[in-house]
Structure 1
Amino acid sequence: MKISFVYCSIAGKIGGGIVLLLCLLLTVSCAEKKETDTRMLEVIAVHDSVMPKMGQLGQLISQLKPLADSTASGQPYQDAIGNLEQANKAMMDWMQGFGDRFDYAEIQEGKTLSAQKSEWLDEELGKVRKMAKSMNESIAQAEALLKKNGSQE
């Protein structure tokens, strides 16, 4: 009887320890998933903040082209067009690269990422921020030039 009681007591403590360990592992796993979800949402939010401006890039290029020529006075307009075109390319390249690295379930459904993809997500956050900055700065530059020239509505 005494051995049985001791065995049950030890088994109960071990079982309790295992349950505690499992709870701890689940908590850590959920925290990692939440961090990944948060980073993915941030990447998508940055993209979504500048995606609607893609049409504006083309409109600004159209407004700048008549003002750009090969003279020194046309150079700022040529530079602005080049920056807008580069921003457009940066968006297209980023979307292509991001889509090559992550699938729909990872992007839209919160599918758990591998360790490699989690590292990639950190890289993509830096890339998307750089791309958004490029877009916003090129738009601001073009608008300032057009305003200075009196060409913008």
Structure 2
Amino acid sequence: MIASMLLMALIYACGTGSAGGQEQQIENEMMAAHDRIMPKMGELNDLYKEMRQYLFLDTTMTMETRERLSMVTVNLKESEEEMMNWMNGISDLAQKKTTMKSEELIKYLTEQKNEINRIGDFTDKSITEAKTALAQRKK
């Protein structure tokens, strides 16, 4: 009887640890994505300012070019706003860890990891587009 109870406790503990390990792994991946993107926010802001100045000062560009470059500028700003919104949304993670069931937490963390990866891709794309536009201007 005691051996049976010990075996059940061991099985339960392993199962719980596995879910906890999965939660931690997903959270680590999510935070690694955040940590990859966060240092780019300064560059993103600098590019945004430079693009705005370019749009304001260059009176010779065509309307089509102005619209395209305006969209690049908007994407830079949206990328920053999405990052800030994501960070504000994830700020209650410690509370969620104590109130959510393991399956719910895994689902939540996976969704947040996917979202921060999407934001990272959007940030990279926005930076590349702005750099390309500014490099063409200087030619």
TM-score by structure 1 length? 0.77
Deviation at 1:35, TM superposition (A): 0.5
Aligned equivalents of 1:19, 1:75: Cα separation in 2: 69
Contact 1:65-1:81 within 8 A present in 2 as well: yes
Q: What is the 5 A alignment of 1:122-133?
A: 122-133=110-121
Q: Deviations over 1:57-102 (max 9, x none)?
A: 11101211232268222222211100000001100110111113x1
1:105 CA displacement: 9.6
CA distance in 2, matches of 1:123, 1:27: 25
Larger radius of gyration: 1
Any gaps of 5 or more consecutive residues in structure 2? Answer: 57-61
**1:94 and 2:86 matched:** yes
Q: What are structure 1's unaligned runs of at least 5 residues?
A: 1-13
* Higher normalized contact order (CA 8 Å, seq sep 6+, divided by chain length): 2
TM-score by length of 2: 0.84
Amino acid at match of 1:131: I
Q: Alpha carbons of 1:105 and 1:73: their partners in 2 closer, same or farther (altered >3 Å)?
A: closer
Which residue is equivalent to 1:149? 137
1:55 is matched with 42
